[in-house]
Structure 1
Amino acid sequence: MANRKRNRKVAMPPTMEGFKPFGVPMKNLEPVILLFEEYEAIRLIDYENLIQEEAAERMGVSRPTITRIYESARKNMATAFIEGKAILIQGGNFVSDDYWYRCNECKEVMITMKPILRCRKCHSDDLIELNAKQ
């Protein structure tokens, strides 16, 4: 029997919902899903220049697990670039210490220690909790 997947620790949400090829309407694009933990692996290894062992420690996973997450992220990004697909960053098997929200009105991303009801920037109550527990 396979081991139960452990939640992967993700420190912060991406500042955007994804990417799309320039000049192609989103309605004409097939998306590739990049999971939050895949985004975090790319952020830690490629952006912060951590070695995989350090990234694994920060995410609370084993070295082989971070390798699998990172390889999956690279494969998804390569598929999107080569095949001209959009990248949507969403979902996954992760935990975070804070509450993450995105305002549907102004698209502001907010990280808070307590739940909030309104956007800090535009005061809209149309918020999406990005890391809501399923």
Structure 2
Amino acid sequence: MARIKKKRLVQMAPGFGGFKPFGVLCKKEDKILINIEEYEALKLCDYEDLTQAEAAKLMNISRPTFTRIYESVRSKIAQAFIEGLPIIYEGGDSLIAEWYTCDKCEIIFTLKDGGEMNCPLCRNKEITLNKFE
């Protein structure tokens, strides 16, 4: 029997739906699909400059699993660049962390499990849960 697939923790989903190449007419069915956990893996390693071990820990997965996800997204991006195909973000098997905004100092932050429900900067108890849709 197959092992149950673990949900990957994503800190924040992208604020846009993908990319389209400039100056190329693409058929509607020609596109590269990148799921949210692939986006997160690329962001953690190539944008935030974390090691694969550090990024795997943040995503709550093993390092070998992280490596497979990371190699998959890099291959897809290379294909999109070489073939001039649009990149579209899609779902995936992930959980998005809850982000809060302090009503007083307006910083955005996340809370650890069991953490106090107040702003880590000014200790204000009036915070708002952000809804990313």
Q: Normalising by the residue count of structure 1, what TM-score does the alignment of the two structures yield?
A: 0.70
What is the deviation of 1:55?
Answer: 0.2
Give deviations 1:32-61, integer Å, cap 9, x for gaps.
Answer: 001100000000000000000000000000
Aligned to 1:80: 80
Distance 1:11 1:39, change over 3 A: same
User: Contact 1:34 / 1:88 at 8 angstroms: preserved in 2?
Assistant: yes
Aligned to 1:44: 44
Output the aligned Cα RMSD.
2.0
Distance 1:26 1:15, change over 3 A: farther
Gaps of 5+ in 2: 100-127
- Tell me whether 1:113 sits opposite 2:118 in the alignment: no
Give deviations 1:60-111, integer Å, cap 9, x for gaps.
Answer: 0000000000011011111111111100011100001238xxxxxxxxxxxx
Aligned residues: 105
What is the alpha-carbon distance in structure 1 between the residues aligned to residue 29 and residue 4 of structure 2?
34
Superposition pairs for residues 92-103 of structure 1, below 5 Å? 92-98=92-98
What is the deviation of 1:4?
Answer: 1.3
SS of alignment partner, residue 70 of structure 1:
helix
What is the alpha-carbon distance in structure 2 between the residues aligned to residue 35 and residue 114 of structure 1?
22
What is the alpha-carbon distance in structure 2 between the residues aligned to residue 8 and residue 40 of structure 1?
9
Gaps of 5+ in 1: 100-111, 116-128
What is the alpha-carbon distance in structure 2 between the residues aligned to residue 77 and residue 35 of structure 1?
12
User: Contact 1:29 / 1:85 at 8 angstroms: preserved in 2?
Assistant: no
What is the alpha-carbon distance in structure 2 between the residues aligned to residue 83 and residue 38 of structure 1?
20
What is the alpha-carbon distance in structure 1 between the residues aligned to residue 130 and residue 32 of structure 2?
32
After superposing on structure 2, the runs of 4+ consecutive aligned residues of structure 1 that deviate more than 3 Å are 25-29
Superposition pairs for residues 18-57 of structure 1, below 5 Å? 18-25=18-25, 27=27, 30-57=30-57
What is the deviation of 1:26?
Answer: 5.5
Q: Normalising by the residue count of structure 2, what TM-score does the alignment of the two structures yield?
A: 0.71
What is the alpha-carbon distance in structure 2 between the residues aligned to residue 114 and residue 40 of structure 1?
19
